[in-house]
Amino acid sequence: MKTVKHKILVLSGKGGVGKSTFSAHLAHGLAEDENTQVALLDIDICGPSIPKIMGLEGEQVHQSGSGWSPVYVEDNLGVMSVGFLLSSPDDAVIWRGPKKNGMIKQFLRDVDWGEVDYLIVDTPPGTSDEHLSVVQYLTAARIDGAVLITTPQEVSLQDVRKEINFCYKVKLPIIGVVENMSGFICPNCKKESQIFPPTTGGAAAMCQDMNVPLLGRVPLDPHIGGHSCPQHMAGLPRAGQAASALWLSSCFPGIQEFCNLHQSKEENLMSS
């Protein structure tokens, strides 16, 4: 962890809101700059989605003298997931807390990330053992902050409020909230519909209530929802990408800014 400059947790109180999808796109977005070293860690031990989203299913991890080697999607983008350790896609990881914590500890300690500018940690939903463990292990090594993902629905927002309070409880800085699945543009007639109506004001209202930044809103897009790999998304014609990819990447500068601000604060503290 010493060689990792910035650590970002991607959290959500609620499952299925697009944490892993967002993490994968964020990783690719940051790695667009060849000089930025990016790492993506998938600690969703029961439902590791990252290998599939990144087009890395079936990849194996190798051990070397310096630890486990991540699987490199690009020269500057390495991925580690428990998904790589399952021999078959049907394998269930039915572990209780202590064993899961042991695995997470191993991931955080024994993966040979090398020099990394950004480590993005994709987490399982909720406020469970995995979260407590990762925050505990990483707090010692300084987490820059957490990005929280939600959909417009109250059923998601009510869980994300809990997640925000979890962050306060464990003193984890909040970078901001991303509202995913925010509206749908029909590919046929181009008219907008709300598939998940924001009956209680969506993320905007919640962010105002809880005084956390809204980083951006991402519409529903079959290209993303159907899980085209981010790298394939980049190859889609502009018209096909349209709103969604642009909305996604509009969230990224805010995240980078937060990390750099965090870093300069730390440096000021150290030099004072």
Partner 1 sequence: SMFITEPGNLAGVQHIILVLSGKGGVGKSTISAELALALRHTGKKVGILDVDLCGPSIPRMLRAQGKAVHQCDSGWVPVFVDQEQSISLMSVGFLLQKPDDALVWRGPKKNALIKQFVSDVAWGQLDYLVVDTPPGTSDEHMATVEALRPYRPLGALVVTTPQAVSVGDVRRELTFCRKTGLQVMGVVENMSGFTCPHCAECTSVFSRGGGEELARHAGVPFLGSVPLDPELARSLEEGRDFMREFPKSPAFPVLTSIAQKILDATPTQPS
Instruction: Count residues near partner 1 (CB under 8 A).
Output: 61
Q: Which residues contact 70 (CB under 8 A, 6 or more apart)?
A: 39, 61, 78, 79, 80, 111, 112, 113
Q: Which is nearer to partner 1, 149 or 259 (CB)?
A: 149
Binding segment (CB under 8 A) for partner 1, from list 2-10, 106-114, 189-197, 231-239 = 189-197
Interface residue with partner 1, options 63, 66, 89, 265 (CB under 8 A): 89
Q: Is 105 in the site for partner 1 (CB under 8 A)?
A: no
DSSP letters of 100-159?
HHHHHHHHHHHB---SEEEEEEE--SSSSHHHHHHHHHHHTT---EEEEEE-SSHHHHHH
Binding segment (CB under 8 A) for partner 1, from list 26-34, 43-51, 114-122, 261-269 = 43-51
C-alpha distance across the termini of the chain, in Å = 25
Q: What is the Cβ-side half-sphere exposure of residue 241, based on CA atoms within 13 angstroms?
A: 15
Q: Is 137 in the site for partner 1 (CB under 8 A)?
A: no
Kindly state the smallest distance separating residue 120's Cβ from partner 1, in Å. 17
**Helix, coil or strand: residue 67:** strand
Residues in contact with partner 1 by CB under 8 A are 13-17, 20, 46-47, 49, 52-53, 89-98, 100, 124-129, 131-132, 153-156, 158-159, 161-166, 169, 184, 186-189, 191, 193-197, 199-200, 220, 222, 225-227
